[in-house]
Structure formats: structure tokens, C-alpha cells
Structure 1
């Protein structure tokens, strides 16, 4: 029982569909959280980091700067913590000497300063009573508190998400909580303890903000920070937000979530200030904002604290600037891992967030982001599932590359518009689907190539087998009816030729003759049906579909004549006689397939149109031309110029048809040839109308050595002696094959 390649093709196609659908469904279940897959989240983080690094701003905000507790400051002033008096002097210098605008302090003063010098003063007063009349010196905490009371300073502190065994209770005093309207509350973090500043310091500062981050991703990278944390029912801002609230006059914060979204959906926090209008801070469902990275470490101005204390700056270097005092020295442990650097100072993270709020450049994740991703994954996945199985490997790579470029381009466009859309899921879907379909295409094509080679390798050249595999068509061996063009060729005078050479050379001569003739047929994708001595039968349009089968068959016929001319040149040089050849072509419906018996099978064509092709080859000798085609072949190869040879009935067919001789391609004919063709057609027209006098005159004006012309002159002589009946239809009946 024959096995159809179409059945195997459908099997492989459905296998591809099923595998592609499973990949899509699995990825969708991962995205909705039904199946954990941490790798996808990590890929999303890496894609986000890459987008950050490739789109960093080159412009720095010169109104923002960091007062840096760096290694040089530690070397010149001493190890941290510095005396509070030194910190007070630093703060005083910033505002009185350099006219700073606002200062945030990214350190916490949670413990009272150890006053050994105060104890020493009391001892001196006991030893020297005259000193007791003088007031004791102000301690460092009081000195710093007095300085804070005179200048706009926002302190820092930190929360702890969980309390470990042995940890003390909360330390210090929290600032006044933020004014928050919680009509639609977000799920802000709720820590278990805090470490804040001394009460004397906090009470004299304008405010304070936390600088811890409970929203560090699992890979340890700072990408987002919570804007507020909840403690005992109240909400407290982080340090950059606390500084912004001071700058805006402590406006009310209104947390909002996206319209129609749930409490875990992204939203934003709205700040309304009377003088400067509204601020919107995009946050996620837990109140965290993406840090707007502006550049690698050092993007903002770093000013060493010791240079401030020693007066080494220009007088207007810090005028009106918003500053954050913090540490970049490695020993102080205020270094973080970020998308723009593995070692990044905490103060610059806070300053970047403050800059993003001031410039309204914090990127947002819209509330519809999950729905958008699921719809995108579904649409792209179904498109690839339906399309990719139909493509060969090179085209599959091109289409996948185009889809990849479109996905990345669209994601970057949204990024530049201020939206952070997920991309890892789409990229994973694209890559896995592409690899799956490439692998399946490879296996399918390998199997199909083996199947085609086993069944058609004996009929068609190897390069045509490759083309059949690449075409993606299904090839069955059962008989089917298809429109084809069949060719019959026969070498004239080969019997006499073979008698002129020794029998031992006949095999070699046959090979020398048939090899180039077969090559000419293969050159135009013809299929060899059989060899019959010196005759060849071939056809076009099967097993590989060929819409131009008549055109290619005609080109193959002339290529055979050219090949015979080259062979004759060799034969005559060897003293052998030259050979001639007749070729007949017919186009029509034929039965094609594997035919024969249980002992021997052959891939061949059969039918009335095949027999007609054989009859046309036989007529080439009668009409003295090399190639004869039927009118159906001429209609399908319309780029060629033909002369009508005759309207005939061939043996075995009652229906008359026109037989034609191809003269060459229309655009290649010379003007002289065109005129000769027109004259012959006019003469033939007279003949068909039984105007034999005019026909004779017209034919006599043509080339007297042209065999068809000589044939018609002989017929006219016959009809002049024996006129045809009045019902004559101009058809000449051939009674021999």
C-alpha cells in the first residue's frame, strides 16, 4: 500500500502546531502565576537593566549635588562617626558660607554622643573652683540641634522589615507622618521596628525620611524603592520624598490605583502644591517607584565634606542647591548594587529619585500591563504557531527576526514614552517558538528528503529532488490527473549510423548521445520517463508542480537540439556522420504516477495527450522540421513565435488540431524573419480558403528549399488536378503514426 507524503506532512504539521501551542500555554500559566518560573523574572530584570544602561541621560542636573563623606574626608577629619560638633559645623558652613538651598542627611544619629570631654570639664571644675562660675560648654547633640533649628535640613533614618531575636525595640523618634489621603490605599510595606534620630535632633529638623529599601529584588539589585512605609497606622516618606514635601510646603499625598484595577495594580501618588502645581509619582501596587537612573556613578556632582569644612570651594559653588549628605567610602557600607553599577553609593540613589520626582521622569508600569502582556503573548504565539510551520528554515529565521525586531522596537518606543512594559516573556516566546519550529522543520525536511529521494531519485536528477524537498509540496505515487507537457524525441538515421561503427563502440556512442540530451532536459527541470533506444520520452509539471511547464519543455527541446549540434561537431571530427532529431511536444491532461505491476513499477505518464505527443514527433519527419508542438502547447508558451504548419487529423484521433513549428522567442526574431513568417501565414491562409491560385503564388514567393513550402506546392498541384469537395475544411488526415 502506497504511503502519501501528504499524510506524513500533515502529521509533522500537526505535531508542530501542538508543540507550539503547548509552549504558549505553558508561558501563559507562568505569567499569571500558576506555574513558578524564577528564570523568567530574572530575564525580565536583566532586560530592564539593559534598557536602563542603553538609555542613560547625558545631562546632569547642576542644582543637585552630594556632600560626600569619602575616604579623603575620613583621612583628614578622622574616622566616622565624627563628633556632632563637626557635623554641626559642616551643616552651618553649607548654609552660611555657601548658601545651600536644602540638605538631606543620609545617615542617622540614633545614639547620644559620648561626652568624655564633659566629664573631664566637671572634674576640672571640682579641682579648680574658679571654673565653676562659667557655664559648661554645649555638648555636640545640642550644638547640632541648634544648627538644625536654624536651617532647612531633612534627616534620615531606617525601618527594619522584621525584628530579629535580640534586637532592641525601636530607637529614636520618628518624624511627623506624611499627610496622606488614603481613599484608595496601596499596600505599603509595614516594618516591625525602626532606628531613628535622637528626639532633640528630630524635633529641630524640618522633617525626616527613611533610606532603607525593603523592595530590593531577589538578585540583590536596587531597581525600585518604596515611597512610603506604614508604622502604627501612619505613613512615613522616604528621604527623597520627604525632601520634596519640604520643598513643596508639605502638601497632601493622594495614592491612587489604576481605574478598574485591584489593589495590587500599578498606580501613582499625587502631590498638589499651591505654588508649583501637581506632581505625580508612578508607583506599583505596593507603593514603590522605579529609580530613574540618569547615569553611572558620579553622574551628579560629588563634593568632599572636608573641602566644605576647609573652605576650599568657590563661594557660589553650592548656592541654592539641593544637597544630600552621605557616604561613598567603602568602609561605611552605604554602597548598593544597581542596574548602572555593581557598587553604587546610596546617596546618589536617593538623589536620582529626587531628580526623577522634580523632573517628572519616573517611568510607570500602567495598570493594564499584565493584560497587555497576556494579549500580546497570545496574539504573537498564535501567529507564530499558524505561520512558522509553513516556512522553510531561512524564511523562518527572517520572519522570526522581524518579529523580534518589532517586539523590541515597540518595547523601546514605550520606554521612551515613559512606560515600562515587560519584554522577557515575548522574547522567550519568540526564541523558543523559533527553535521549536526550526527543529521540527529540520526533522520534517530530513524525513521528507529521505522519502522523496527513495521514491523519485530514479526518475529525476538529484538537484530536482532537492528542489522538491525545498518546495514543501506533498508528492504521492498514486496516479493523479494533472496538466503536463510531454516530449518525445527520436534521432533520425541512427540505424544507418550504428551500422557504420563497430558494435563495441555502440554503447559508448549511445552514452555520448543520451547524456547531453538528458542534461538538456534536466537543465529545465524535466523528468525523464524512459529511454527507447535512441528515443527519449520526458515530461514537465510532475512530480514538482511547474506553472510554466510548456515554456520549460520548449526551452528543453531547443537545448536538446543545441546539444545535438555539439555532439555532431565531435562526430564529424571523428569521421562519423552527423545526426538529425525530431521533437514533438503536447500539453494537456494526463495521468501521472507510479504505474506497472507488482514486479516492476515506473513513475510515468499515460493518456490520449501522451499519445498525441508521440504522433507529433513522428510528423517532424513528414514536414521536414525539427520541432512540432500542438496548439495547446503554443497557447501556454505564448512568448514564442510559431508558424502554423498544418491543420491535421493524426492516426487515432478524429478531432483535428493545428500543429505548429516554434521559430524562436518573439523578442529575438529579426525583422527579416518576421516578414518571412507573415508571408508564410498569408500563403497558408489562402490555402485554407481553397484559393489555390493565390496560395501557389504566395508559396512560390517564399524560400523554395523550405520543406513545408515545397510540401504545400506539391499539394496545390494535386488539388489543381483533383479539387477537394466544397465541404473541404482544410484538414489533412495522416493515416500513419
Structure 2
């Protein structure tokens, strides 16, 4: 519970921090990344030919083409009038100026002759002003202005008069985030005390013939479309990637096209579209937007009308875009009704908190490398889902949840190392010298780690010993004996630990192993039986290896017993050992010794047999009473895995079972007959055959019971 609360608190704090104003500058980065990701994964969303907006670019080519080359833009008004008229005659729904011509050459006060230069060229702007007036009367032209407190940048006075002042002039101002990136556009402004739509909203509404509506809650709708925006009175721009999304025409080419009277071209390219006239140059009016990672080299890319395409040297890809494309994008979003929809801050916090909680849970349950890999995979999957959602104009936050998740992952890993795993490290140090590493890992992964001290558990004890070890010891030098013993004990230990057993102690050549502690194992009896068969098989391999036992053939005896036992750390305060204390250990030792009387290798108690199950082939050997116990118990030989039992073994076991039944019924002659069938190759059968014949010859005394007392090991 403590760790759960701590990890939850870490996740919530990380989420709150990432959503707080402290990381405000990183908030908009989500839109930037999604714009790039969507462009790279899906390409353009729309065919440029279907765009509802087009740009007439005062571009580098125009500045290098006659008659504009070397001429200031204030002298271009007549040619602008020619193109404006041609575009409107071609069927454009409305034309907006994304460039402000705040000075007229007619206003020049430079001395010239006996007057000023402006006086000598009165009427120079007549064609331009006439074109503006005609378009303004039809509601098909909007001039731009830039609001700057008490000193706005306005069109020249003659232009303002021509378009009926504020009736056809709209602000071009944009909204810049705290990181100096443009991701949003204001929808309206207060000009002269009156609320006025921005350029993009004005042009879009004129194009579709619908006026925007402002509701009591401040929500602005256009033709029934609630314009989304994370900030009041703004819309979030939904940029496409690349440079072909907004059809762009070089002003120089259109001017020549208009001079040639190519009306069909204008009708084909501009009918029904909103047209923006603005600067598209490599240096001037460049803006960083949420498209900054997905830009491409800009150029006039629509089919030419009159002039051949001109190669402009020095073009390169910018991170910024020309300012005219900001309003062009906004107009397209409004007409198509696909402006980007951001989540409000409370919902961003919820998403970030969920991501952080998941990351913290990974760090809490997995190893650091596994948690990191899972986090990277989850972040990648989330980015894919967010990119797909952005394809439908929905902005899922990226930086907040992924940042919160990463912070929670690191913080939880630190918490786990400093606090949670402190106890685990203590256990690892405590068990490192007497538990196999994989057993330690399994113990620590379990929900019930061993108690330091003692606890009662159901366990199975395996006791093994080398047969005739004393005789072997007499024949070997001490160092050779040590090598033999270490080889044997190492091999048997590896087998025992591979089946989840814990080697409690070595007593000379004997091994005492526990199954079911310190690691819980509900199949502890079966695990011990598997280990016993594995030890037998491994010993046979070692006996076949010429140098394993210095030419000696080793055999072993194994006793297995199951029952309750006290397990834990026993010893003094300065030195202790994890061990087991129980009568089950003593009985396992007695059963190991019983193998000597029956000529067997593995004997188990009836308790172990009942717990181990049908996976093994067991032969009931006898009923015995061991030293120190008054109660008789049935003992069984572990012959093999049931699936590996040979036909001859199966026949011998059947004859033995029948003989044992006759023995217990005091039918000694019949018992001897059945035991005799396998006596030539089976020591337990030979033993009972002799016992049955002896009993048939000398009838047992009154009160005889079929129980053998094993008074010594």
C-alpha cells in the first residue's frame, strides 16, 4: 500500500508539473511534431488543385523580371490593378491583401523641378484606386492593416478612401506563443471601439456568403461550424506539410498573362477561390509556425500562363514560411471546417496523469531496462495513434504525457532503488551465498518472501548419500577425495537447484535439500521427485566419464519425505544459516538409509507419493517402522517417470505388487512364487522372495504383522 501510494503520488506530481506554466513553452511542440509526423506518414491531406484559397506571390522571380526589376513596389500599383481586375474577372470570390502599401508615390515630397516629385505624377495610382473601388463596391476586396497600439500600419490614404475605410480593411495580426512560434490566429479585434473580424475570418465568411456569429460564451461560429481554439478568440491552425498545399502563382507571370488577355487561364485557376496577394521571399516576412519541421522550398508551383519558369539561384529550405501562408492556411481551415482541435488543460492533465501512472507501474514492476523498453514502445504507439487522430484534426498532447511518463519512470526507478528495493537487496545479500541466483529471483518475485526468523511451511526434504563412501575414502589421497567429492556435490547441487530446490547443507558426502522453501512451490513433492531422477541420470553420466571419479564408480541413495517444517534463519546473532528443522528431515534421512536394505536408489514416504501425483512410476516397497517412530508407514520406490517406464519394469512392478499382497495376507508360498519371477534382476523382489520362503518354512509367531523395523541407518 505504501509503495502504491508513493508511486501514484510520483505520477500525479510529474503530470501536474508537465501541464503547469513551467513547461508552457513546450506545450505547442506537440502540434509541431504531429504536423511533421502526419506529413511523413500520410503525405498531403488534399489535392492542391482543390484548395479553396490561392496565393499571388510577389516573389523573387517578380523582383528580377521586367518591368519590376529595380523598381520600388510603390511604383507597381498599376500592374497590381491589372492583375487584381483579371483575378476578379476570372471568378475569384474575394481578394485579400496580405501586404500593406502604406505609402503612395503620389505622396512623395522629394523636390523635383519647380515642385515635388509627387505633384508631377498626380494620378499615377488612378488605375489601382479605381480597381480597388470597383472591387470594394462588390465586396470582393479586403485590404490589410497591422494593429500596433496607437500607431497602426495602414494602407495609403487614397486606398483607404477607395475601399470605404474600415468597411473593407481588416487586421493581419497573428498570435505568437511564448516560444515565439505561430500556431494560432486571432479571429477578431477591437478597432475604433468596434469588434472587427480578422483578415482570415473576413475572407472566409465573404467567400461562403455567411457572417460569423459570436455567442454569449465567446464561441465564434461560421456557417454553423464552431471554430475551435484552445485560447479565447483564436483558432488553432492546421497546417499541411510541404509547400504545394496552397496553390501559388508568380505575380510576374500573372501580370504578363493579364496583358495577353488570357481570361480562360484566370477563370480556370481562380474561379470560386479566395485569393491572397502577398510577399513570398527568402528573407522578408518569414514566420516560424507549427509547420516549422515540415516545410519545403517555396516557389510558384502552379502551371504557368505566359512566362517560362525562371530558375532562381540560392533557393533553400527554410524552417519558416512566408507570412501570407498563415492567413491562407487559416482561410482553408475555416472553409473546409478542419481547424485543429486541442484538448483543454484539465483533459491534458488527465491524459498526462494516465501516461505517468502507466510508466510508474512499469518502473515499479519491471527491471529498469525492461521498463525503459516498454516505455519507448508505448510512446511510439501513442505517437502513432496521435498522428492518426491529427489526420482528423484532433490534437492529442504529446509533450505533456510523454514527458510526464519519462519523469515518472525515472522518479519511480529512483524511489524503487532507494526505498522499495532496499529490502530486496538485503534479502539478496542474505541468500547470495546459499541460494542459486534464479532461485533468489523467483523468491523476490513471489508475493511471500521468507520471514527473517522462522515460519512453518509444507516442504519436501531430499536427503542423498554416496553408497560405500568410507571404502572409497580409504583408497584415495585427501586431495583426490576432495576432487571426487566436489565433483559429485557440484553436479548434484546443479540438478537440485535447476528444479527449484534449496541445498540446506552438506554433511560430508551427504546433501540435504529443501523444496518449497524459501521459495513457495505448490508442487514441491513433484519437484523433489524430478530432482531425484535427475540426480540419478547425471550420476550415470559422470560414471561414464573416465576422469570424473578417478576410476571409481559411484552409486547413491536418496530419501524423500514431505511434511510441515520450521524454516528460516537459525543460528547466533552474528552467524546464521537458512535451514529447516523438522521430523520430516529425520525421516528423509532414515528413508535414504533404507535403500541399503532393499537394494534400491530412491525411496519416498507415502506422503510424498500422494503429493507428487501420477507423473511418476512408484512401487510400494514395504511397511516399515523406523528408529525413533512408533507409527508404521508405507514406503515407495521411485522407479522412473511414468511416461518412460519400460514394459519389463511394468511387469516386475505388477508381480511385486501381487507378491506384496500375498505376503501381507500370510500367503507366503504364493508370495514367494510371484516375487521369484523378477528376483533374478530385481533386488527388492529377491529380498522378499527369501523372506517369504523363510516365513513359509517357519510359520510366524502369533501377532505377526507385515511391518519391518529399521532400527539403524
Sort the TM-score into its range (normalised by shorter chain): 0.7 to 0.9
**Which range is displaced more, 239-248 or 16-25?**
16-25
Which of the residues 59, 65, 83 maps onto 2:46?
A: 59
Is 2:188 aligned against 1:201? no
Give the C-alpha shift of residue 20 in structure 1. 5.2
Name 1:269's counterpart in structure 2: 220
Q: Could you give the per-residue CA deviations for residues 186-221 of structure 1, whole angstroms, max 9, x where no partner exists?
A: xxxxxxxxx9874322229983322111x2112221
Which of the residues 183, 197, 201 maps onto 1:223?
A: 183
Runs (5+) with no aligned partner, structure 1: 1-12, 125-135, 174-194, 258-262, 273-277
Paired residue secondary structure (2:106): coil
**Which range is displaced more, 41-50 or 575-584?**
575-584
Name 1:18's counterpart in structure 2: 6
Distance in 2 between residues matched to 1:233 and 1:511, nearest whole Å: 98
Name 1:329's counterpart in structure 2: 281
Q: Is the 8 A contact 2:558 2:603 kept in 1?
A: yes
Distance in 1 between residues matched to 2:662 and 2:9, nearest whole Å: 71
Q: Is the 8 A contact 1:224 1:288 kept in 2?
A: yes
Paired residue secondary structure (2:397): coil
Which of the residues 302, 317, 322 maps onto 2:265?
A: 317
Name 2:205's counterpart in structure 1: 245
Number of equivalences = 664
Name 1:654's counterpart in structure 2: 630
**Which range is displaced more, 76-85 or 354-363?**
76-85
Distance in 1 between residues matched to 2:58 and 2:635, nearest whole Å: 102
Give the C-alpha shift of residue 444 in structure 1. 6.1
Name 1:3's counterpart in structure 2: none
Name 2:336's counterpart in structure 1: 359
Which of the residues 508, 523, 526 maps onto 1:533?
A: 508
Runs (5+) with no aligned partner, structure 2: 293-318
Q: Alpha carbon RMSD of aligned pairs, Å?
A: 3.7
Q: Is the 8 A contact 2:129 2:158 kept in 1?
A: no
**Which range is displaced more, 479-488 or 407-416?**
407-416
Is 2:69 aligned against 1:79? no
Give the C-alpha shift of residue 675 in structure 1. 3.5
Q: Could you give the per-residue CA deviations for residues 450-487 of structure 1, whole angstroms, max 9, x where no partner exists?
A: 53454323323456456655668634431221222212
The 5 A counterparts of 1:103-142 are 103-114=95-106, 139-142=123-126
Distance in 2 between residues matched to 1:384 and 1:574, nearest whole Å: 54
Question: Are residues 493 and 351 of structure 1, via their aligned partners in 2, closer, same or farther at CA, if it must alter by over 3 Å?
Answer: same
Q: Could you give the per-residue CA deviations for residues 510-563 of structure 1, whole angstroms, max 9, x where no partner exists?
A: 444434334443443433323323322222233333344333322332333344
Q: Could you give the per-residue CA deviations for residues 266-288 of structure 1, whole angstroms, max 9, x where no partner exists?
A: x742234xxxxx44422344211
User: TM-score, normalised on structure 2?
Assistant: 0.82
The 5 A counterparts of 1:529-678 are 529-569=504-544, 578-597=553-572, 601-638=576-613, 639-678=615-654
Name 1:102's counterpart in structure 2: 94
Paired residue secondary structure (2:675): helix
Paired residue secondary structure (2:711): coil
Distance in 1 between residues matched to 2:548 and 2:371, nearest whole Å: 54
Distance in 2 between residues matched to 1:83 and 1:570, nearest whole Å: 102
Name 2:16's counterpart in structure 1: 28
Distance in 1 between residues matched to 2:477 and 2:255, nearest whole Å: 117
Paired residue secondary structure (2:449): coil
Name 1:127's counterpart in structure 2: none
Which of the residues 25, 30, 40 maps onto 1:42?
A: 25
Q: Is the 8 A contact 2:100 2:154 kept in 1?
A: no
Which of the residues 48, 57, 69 maps onto 2:58?
A: 69
Give the C-alpha shift of residue 623 in structure 1. 0.9
Which of the residues 679, 692, 710 maps onto 2:655?
A: 679
**Which range is displaced more, 612-621 or 578-587?**
578-587
The 5 A counterparts of 1:460-475 are 460-461=435-436, 464-465=439-440, 468=443, 474-475=449-450
Which of the residues 110, 113, 131 maps onto 1:147?
A: 131
Distance in 1 between residues matched to 2:157 and 2:13, nearest whole Å: 50
Distance in 2 between residues matched to 1:413 and 1:646, nearest whole Å: 74
Q: Is the 8 A contact 1:324 1:347 kept in 2?
A: yes
Name 1:391's counterpart in structure 2: 366
Question: Are residues 505 and 29 of structure 1, via their aligned partners in 2, closer, same or farther at CA, if it must alter by over 3 Å?
Answer: closer
Q: Is the 8 A contact 1:105 1:155 kept in 2?
A: yes
Paired residue secondary structure (1:604): strand
Paired residue secondary structure (1:318): helix
Distance in 2 between residues matched to 1:293 and 1:450, nearest whole Å: 53
Q: Is the 8 A contact 1:52 1:339 kept in 2?
A: yes
Question: Are residues 407 and 664 of structure 1, via their aligned partners in 2, closer, same or farther at CA, if it must alter by over 3 Å?
Answer: same
Distance in 2 between residues matched to 1:572 and 1:409, nearest whole Å: 62
Distance in 1 between residues matched to 2:630 and 2:413, nearest whole Å: 56
Give the C-alpha shift of residue 729 in structure 1. 6.5
Q: Is the 8 A contact 1:142 1:200 kept in 2?
A: no
Is 2:461 aligned against 1:486? yes
Paired residue secondary structure (1:155): strand
The 5 A counterparts of 1:652-731 are 652-721=628-697, 730-731=706-707
Distance in 2 between residues matched to 1:460 and 1:699, nearest whole Å: 44
Give the C-alpha shift of residue 716 in structure 1. 2.3
Is 2:195 aligned against 1:235? yes
Distance in 1 between residues matched to 2:126 and 2:455, nearest whole Å: 104
Q: Is the 8 A contact 1:21 1:385 kept in 2?
A: no
Distance in 2 between residues matched to 1:115 and 1:532, nearest whole Å: 113
Give the C-alpha shift of residue 585 in structure 1. 1.0
Give the C-alpha shift of residue 695 in structure 1. 3.1
Distance in 1 between residues matched to 2:506 and 2:187, nearest whole Å: 88
Q: Is the 8 A contact 2:503 2:514 kept in 1?
A: yes
Name 2:145's counterpart in structure 1: 158
Distance in 1 between residues matched to 2:101 and 2:358, nearest whole Å: 60
Distance in 1 between residues matched to 2:240 and 2:548, nearest whole Å: 85
Distance in 2 between residues matched to 1:689 and 1:705, nearest whole Å: 25
Question: Are residues 196 and 634 of structure 1, via their aligned partners in 2, closer, same or farther at CA, if it must alter by over 3 Å?
Answer: farther
Which of the residues 208, 219, 237 maps onto 1:291?
A: 237
Name 1:179's counterpart in structure 2: none
Give the C-alpha shift of residue 624 in structure 1. 0.8
Question: Are residues 382 and 70 of structure 1, via their aligned partners in 2, closer, same or farther at CA, if it must alter by over 3 Å?
Answer: closer
User: TM-score, normalised on structure 1?
Assistant: 0.80
Give the C-alpha shift of residue 590 in structure 1. 1.0
Distance in 2 between residues matched to 1:240 and 1:210, nearest whole Å: 9
Q: Is the 8 A contact 1:518 1:528 kept in 2?
A: yes
Q: Is the 8 A contact 2:360 2:409 kept in 1?
A: no
Is 2:76 aligned against 1:93? no
Question: Are residues 416 and 658 of structure 1, via their aligned partners in 2, closer, same or farther at CA, if it must alter by over 3 Å?
Answer: farther
Distance in 1 between residues matched to 2:359 and 2:78, nearest whole Å: 69
Distance in 2 between residues matched to 1:483 and 1:110, nearest whole Å: 95
Distance in 2 between residues matched to 1:508 and 1:99, nearest whole Å: 102
Distance in 1 between residues matched to 2:661 and 2:601, nearest whole Å: 23
**Which range is displaced more, 528-537 or 477-486?**
528-537
Distance in 1 between residues matched to 2:433 and 2:79, nearest whole Å: 97
